[in-house]
Structure 1
């Protein structure tokens, strides 16, 4: 037999014996350290460490190391199923040998992770999941492992996050994320590391915490750098202790691992899906539309990350029967755009859509002022003072009411006498004043209208719109206020106000509110843009997005107007919308801070 074929046959026989020894050894001799004997068989550990040469370690076989990793992983699965915490150690062992296998490849430079077997990522993800289950992991500080030479305390280091280490209260495997019904495109990157979702509970310790949700979910990618010494005794391997790095995959794209440089794995979908599921956004949208009294108190202006001074807030405002997660594709798409997070930060506004939208606009105005008072009371933050609003559908109308002067125009639609002459409580006067009298917010410098019905929507005029409007329960506090005003001020309220129109009623074409809003003066210091849908029809035949006619979406004076082949409900998810919004924000950034170097 040829020497090459003989060596191949001997290797196959040898590997078979190794697997049998690793599996059967502990059954024959309890407590037997099969791990070290196995490693010696692989030539990963010399029979005597003294035989190794510094800088020229004993032979390291990539395939055999991967085999050892997979054996440990199978054993870990069995132990986990049996409810044994030892599974954490076996998963860790599987990760260590997968790391050793990558090291054995001698990879240098940036390498496509698709060329590397996924054992490392899978074993590490399983290890972290099991460690969390059995109380071995505190993602703020350390991971506890029982290694071949005794206990190992693996330090946890956080890299690149705007969150503090104390915010890492728990890690959830990104693979366990539920489906996000609002998402149409996936935003993931193949690479090294175990994709995780970190969880932070809001203890409301500071005023800034009021702008974070009860639970925040944000992406993290774990990278383990093990000390190979205790496992395979290689001379020349790092002896500084095991290190578990948690990287922000939004801000880090490549990572050093086992002597090579690889793309960092990234999963933006999982954290958003978990956040959506935790707040029950679909239920909120339905209840907030049909019975808004229940959800008025849950109106919320929230940041996706802790507020960052100097970065421009991009505030998303959803439309009728919707919620902030309708912008999932846009938000993830923007966060994936190079440079976006260096200059911008995401903010979302949630409100019950069944109430009259001019009241929603007043609530939004109050929230925006509160944000400025909290983060920029001196009006000096160049980021906040150049805030951008992005409104879809009715959210565009709510955004428009942040950049216009009301004068007496809206109040004249509601009453026949001045507000101050009404017989009512001071709190009611304040309530009405906030709704009907306002000025532009000076720090809102740009607005993007997406499928916004400036002249109304066809659906509101149809039978289904009228029937749906009847299903909407008027807010209890508004009903009580109208009753008191009519009782103590006979004839003061006009029928339009007395009937307490819902948002659907206000969106009816040729309605008085929308006609009046068309005439309200817009702050000349604010720039605005239009994105309208054509429902996939060619431009010359297009009439609208199926809900909002193009004539209604049009706004005189817009700096730009783009038609995209999308229906009303899919404008938010269309790639052309993302491209246009990215373009608009780059223009806004250049006009705010000047063009970037080299442009």
Structure 2
């Protein structure tokens, strides 16, 4: 082979090796499905337990890979922190995710166990880098509002804060009350700042439940507010004083925020101090950090759902109906700690029921931002076996005592323009709370002829609390849902009578009944004659003397009222329909501001149509009061025409 031939062959070989480079495309393109695109854009260590595409790209810029970071995590984070070629946003967001991935891998804590120091330190590192990204980079959060990366970093922060705060909470019992700082996993925890008040009268919960991931059977919707911070359910200590008729909620929402002190990015990244803010989202819509006002996250459904799930209302209400234990006197249950500056809505359930009757109603009210800022909900929980007149007197007393306890002067917003919402028997009681009895109910008392004046006076003293009453002056609007104002024939059915015969009335009420019987019969009363008092089922009969007499009582002219009726069975015209339990003729009220007929069974209050109507009425009530404040009213207390027009449905 000649030299010239060898040179030629080498040139051919060289050209052949270059062909793949010059003849084939280095960069290809393909279309990906929408689902794949979304997963690629949004997946991160929280959603898929793998690093996000943004973090992987940032590692590539500084010649690192996931394997490099797994093999030598300190070197990986040090390189990322001090390498040139990436801006602060990319650097800090990647570090926040890397530290969170490390924390999740190192965190082996069970449900009731504290996170180990290595994992807790990593959670705090992640939260700090996320905090620095959000508040100490060139752009503020508002300028990145539409960026997926900021949403991811916010999630990193919120989750790291949740795990950290859970560990802090387990530490609190060991610190006592007289402390300002505490060492935690190589960090210094500064004493928390809180405005979360629990019904137990304490500011420190006895239990802290992360709201993330909670799901509730029976609740249609979960109402949250997206924002900054981690959402919890704070649970207070059980109430000790059971004699008082009111119960402030000791299941309340709490939003936790971790702040890392510092005036500059460098000082924030150097600090190992951390302060916890425990915020009440009913009071706090935002928090100021680094001179920036940022919205607070919140979960308003979770505390309500946990409370209901732990209440045991279903079993207790049935025992109470039959008189086999359970509730013996009314309780006023506040769905959130008392707020003097919010209007009050009082809800009363029906026969054999409990606050569970209002599961979705209350949730929908608290889930509506406007209504949540305007109203607080009180639920009256009462024994449904005793006569309506007795429950009326006891509920009135419980409400009066509750109002006086929280607002002795009666001047707070919460004590005025109260709205009542009653379902079924609760609707009957609600109507009587805004009605005047005069002397019209004395006709139900069949006293023996010839009673002495002294005996008549004694009888009147015993019965006056039950048969003579005036409207609650604090109430100016009421809604009655499927309420048997004139009774129902269902209460006369054999099954209803059989259930009624199983009901036991409280001993104290039987003793009171015996005293009333003695007063009615005078000296001729048999010494051991049993007192036959009507129970609640008796009172709901359309033939009952009390229900017939009370149905004619006038409602206060100062009260606007509305009715919502169910139409389950219809024989033609609405007037001949019923909800399966209560006839329309019994639930209808002349003079109502509005009436809505819903195609539903007796439990109409849980239907979407009824809830939408209740929300409309609540807005109407609030708007009218706002208008009255602006326009004023005349000397007779009449609503100005401008306000009436502005609140029309």
Tell me if both proteins adopt one fold, taking TM over 0.5 as the criterion.
Answer: yes
Counterparts of 1:451 and 1:6 in 2: how far apart (Å)?
62
Alpha carbons of structure 1 residues 394 and 91: separation in structure 2 relative to 1, 3 Å: same
- Partners of 1:18 and 1:352 in 2: CA distance: 64
| Structure 2 residue 351 is the aligned partner of structure 1 residue 320 | yes
Q: Distance in 1 between matches of 2:499 and 2:579?
A: 20
Partner of 2:639: none
Alpha-carbon shift at residue 105 of structure 1 (Å): 10
1:22-42 CA distance string (max 9 Å, x none): 3xxxxxxxxxxx4xx442122
Point out where structure 2 has 5 or more consecutive residues left out of the alignment. Answer: 1-20, 28-55, 632-645
Deviates more, 1:247-256 or 1:555-564: 247-256
Give me the TM-score of the superposition, normalised by structure 1.
0.79
Task: Please tell me whether residue 269 in structure 1 is matched to residue 307 in structure 2.
Answer: no
Q: Does 1:132 align with 2:169?
A: yes
Q: 2:473 is matched with which residue: 442, 467, 483? A: 442
CA distance in 1, matches of 2:479, 2:617: 9
Q: Residue 26 of structure 1 aligns with which residue?
A: none
Q: Greater shift after overlay, 450-459 or 81-90? A: 81-90
Any idea what SS the aligned residue of 2:333 has?
strand
Say whether residues 1:356 and 2:356 are aligned partners: no
Task: Label 1:383 to 1:350 Cα distance change in 2 as closer, same or farther (>3 A).
Answer: same
Displacement of 1:63: 3.4
Compared CA separation, residues 399 and 58, structure 1 to 2 (3 A): closer
Q: Does the aligned pair in 1 maintain the 2:208–2:234 contact within 8 Å? A: yes
What's the offset of the Cα at 1:352? Answer: 0.6
**1:187-240: CA deviations, max 9, x gaps?**
2334432111123337779x9x9465276111111122335899xx84676969
Distance 2:109 2:325 in 1: 52
**Secondary structure of the equivalent of 2:281?**
coil
Match of 2:259 among 220, 225, 249: 225
**1:537 and 1:159 mapped to 2: Cα distance?**
53
CA–CA distance in structure 1, aligned partners of residues 385 and 465 of structure 2: 19
* Gap change, CA 1:526 and 1:142, over 3 Å in 2: farther
Secondary structure of residue in 1 paired with 2:107 = helix
One of 187, 192, 200 as aligned partner of 2:223: 187
CA 1:88–1:581 in 2, change beyond 3 Å: closer, same or farther? same
Which consecutive residues of structure 1, in runs of 5 or more, have no partner in the other structure? Answer: 23-33
Q: Which of 424, 442, 446 is residue 411 of structure 1 equivalent to?
A: 442
Pairs within 5 Å for 1:152-191: 152-158=188-194, 166-170=202-206, 172-175=208-211, 183-191=219-227
Aligned with residue 504 of structure 1, among 527, 537, 543: 537
Quick check: 536-545 or 86-95, which moved more? Answer: 536-545
Q: Say which SS state the counterpart of residue 256 (structure 2) adopts.
A: strand
Aligned with 1:550 (options 576, 584, 590): 584
Cα distance, 1:534 vs. partner? 2.6
Match of 1:41 in 2: 79
Pair 1:476 & 2:507 matched = yes
- TM-score, reference length from structure 2: 0.74
Aligned pairs (5 A) from 1:47-196: 60=91, 62-77=93-108, 85-86=116-117, 87-99=119-131, 108-109=141-142, 111=145, 116-117=151-152, 118-135=155-172, 144=182, 146=184, 150-158=186-194, 166-170=202-206, 172-175=208-211, 183-196=219-232
Q: Summarize the Cα distance change of 1:317–1:129 in structure 2 as closer, same or farther, 3 Å threshold.
A: same
Q: Which residue of 2 aligns with 1:243?
A: 275
Q: Does 1:559 align with 2:596?
A: no
Q: Does 1:213 align with 2:237?
A: no
Contact kept in structure 2, 1:315 and 1:347, CA below 8 Å: yes
- How far 1:456 sits from its partner (Å)? 2.2
Whether contact under 8 Å (1:159, 1:247) holds in the other structure is: yes
Q: Could you tell me how far apart the structure 2 residues matched to 1:268 and 1:400 are? A: 30
Match of 1:577 in 2: 610
| CA deviation vs aligned residue, 1:536-556 (integer Å, no higher than 9, x gap) | 989967923332222221111
Moved more, 584-593 or 519-528: 584-593
Cα separation, partners in 2 of 1:59 and 1:587, compared to 1, 3 Å: closer
Residues 318-353 of structure 1: CA distance to partner in whole angstroms, max 9, x if unpaired?
111111242232223223333334443222211111
Instruction: Work out which of the residue numbers 398, 419, 432 in structure 2 matches 1:367.
Output: 398
Q: Is the 8 A contact 1:537 1:565 kept in 2?
A: no
Distance in 2 (alpha carbons) for counterparts of 1:269 and 1:355? 33
Structure having the higher Rg? 2
- Between 1:455-464 and 1:280-289, the stretch displaced more is 455-464
Q: Please report how far the alpha carbon of residue 584 of structure 1 lies from its aligned counterpart in structure 2 after TM superposition.
A: 2.1
Deviations 1:553-578 (A, max 9, x none): 11111111112333322x33333333
Q: Distance in 2 between matches of 1:304 and 1:474?
A: 29
The answer (yes or no) to whether the contact 1:391–1:399 under 8 Å persists in 2 is: yes
Offset of residue 254 of structure 1: 5.2
Q: 1:593 to 1:260 in 2, by over 3 A?
A: closer
User: CA separation in 2, counterparts of 1:246 and 1:533?
Assistant: 44
Aligned partner of 1:25 in structure 2 is none
Indicate whether 1:587 and 2:587 are aligned: no
Q: Distance in 1 between matches of 2:60 and 2:411?
A: 75
Matched, 1:391 2:392: no
Q: 1 CA distance for matches of 2:476 and 2:367? A: 24
Question: Do 2:447 and 2:520's aligned partners in 1 also have CA atoms closer than 8 Å?
Answer: no
Given that residues 136 and 145 in structure 1 are in contact (C-alpha distance below 8 angstroms), is that contact kept between their aligned partners in structure 2? no
Q: Which residue of 2 aligns with 1:289?
A: 321
Q: CA deviation at 1:361?
A: 0.6
Distance (Å, rounded) in 2 between the aligned partners of 1:439 and 1:245: 47
Contact 1:313 1:383 in 2 (8 A): yes
Q: Conserved in 1, the CA contact under 8 Å of 2:447 and 2:521? A: no
Range moving further from structure 2, 550-559 or 193-202: 193-202
Aligned residues: 567
Q: CA deviation at 1:398?
A: 0.8
Change (3 A) 1:342 1:12: same
- Selected match of 1:17 from 68, 72, 82: 68
**Preserved CA contact (<8 Å) 1:85 1:134:** no
Asked whether the equivalents of residues 221 and 266 of structure 1 are also in contact (C-alpha less than 8 Å), the reply is yes
Shift of 1:64: 4.7
CA shift in 2, pair 1:210/1:478, >3 Å:
closer
Distance 1:60 1:259 in 2: 23
